[in-house]
Amino acid sequence: MREQIKRVAEELLVKHGYRGVSFRQISEILNTTRANLHYHFGSKDGLVEEVLEDYANRTLDAYRDIWTDTRTSLREKVEAVVRMSRERYRHYNQKSDKGEPWSLMIRLRSDSDAITPRMRTKLQEVTHEFETLVRVGVRTAIQSGELVEDAPQELLVVQLVNIIHYAGSVTRDHGHFGRLADLWEATLSTIERAYGRETAVKTRATA
């Protein structure tokens, strides 16, 4: 029952935000009582905190697998992130591509004035961890020779991490996932043209 409650809560939180979710809604969907929800989680905040913790940990595990993989290129890492994001997006945009919310963390960040300090702290921790993981991926690309040695690592990290942080805003503002995929491709192509090892070699050869 706890897992069922959390699954329903996650769906509702992504769709309606923190303010748009109540124990009444969840109990009606699960055909149970609000008292049962209170028994398992104490309060709405207790439930949302646990849902966020689980969601954040799943996301970090997936990102850790992607960004710390020394066998894949930076492009392959970005492509894996795009695939993961598209899967989540499609889950919440099954009937049409209209840019409906699809990320719990992005959704809760928009409700930062209403969520608890524990939730805000978790979101900040995830933000920091995202930056750390992307930094590992960029450093690996430099060490492997995919990017030139003097590539501005921290500037590249800022570019890539900001797309992760604002992905939900991009799909919402443009009304479809394609714009987010285009942004990733434009950013990655720019990085490759400016700092890719192959580009640097060709530039020196024609100089």
- Please provide the size of the chain in residues: 207
Residue 131: which of 162, 110, 174, 98 has the closest Cα? 162
Read off the CATH number of the domain in which 161 is found.
1.10.357.10
Residue 30: which of 6, 53, 54 has the closest Cα? 6
What would the mean pLDDT of 169-183 be, rounded to a whole number?
95
- Number of domains the chain contains: 1
Assigned domain for 9 exists: no
Q: Is 201's pLDDT higher than 80?
A: no
The domain in which residue 109 lies consists of 48-206
Assigned domain for 159 exists: yes
Assigned domain for 19 exists: no
The model's pTM is 0.90
Q: How far apart are CA 147 and CA 141, in angstroms?
A: 6
CA angle 111, 113, 118 (to 5 degrees): 85
Q: Percent of the chain at pLDDT above 90?
A: 91
Structure tokens at 86: 């598209």
pLDDT-based confidence at 206, cuts 50/70/90? very low
Quick: pLDDT tens for 113-128: 999 999 999 999 999 9
Assigned domain for 189 exists: yes
Please report the beta strands in the chain, taking only residues with DSSP state E, as ranges in sequence order. none
Q: How far apart are CA 204 and CA 27, in angstroms?
A: 66
Assigned domain for 41 exists: no
Assigned domain for 42 exists: no
Assigned domain for 43 exists: no
Q: Which pLDDT does position 199 carry in this prediction?
A: 61
Mean pLDDT, all residues of the chain? 93
Assigned domain for 70 exists: yes
Q: Is 203's pLDDT higher than 50?
A: no
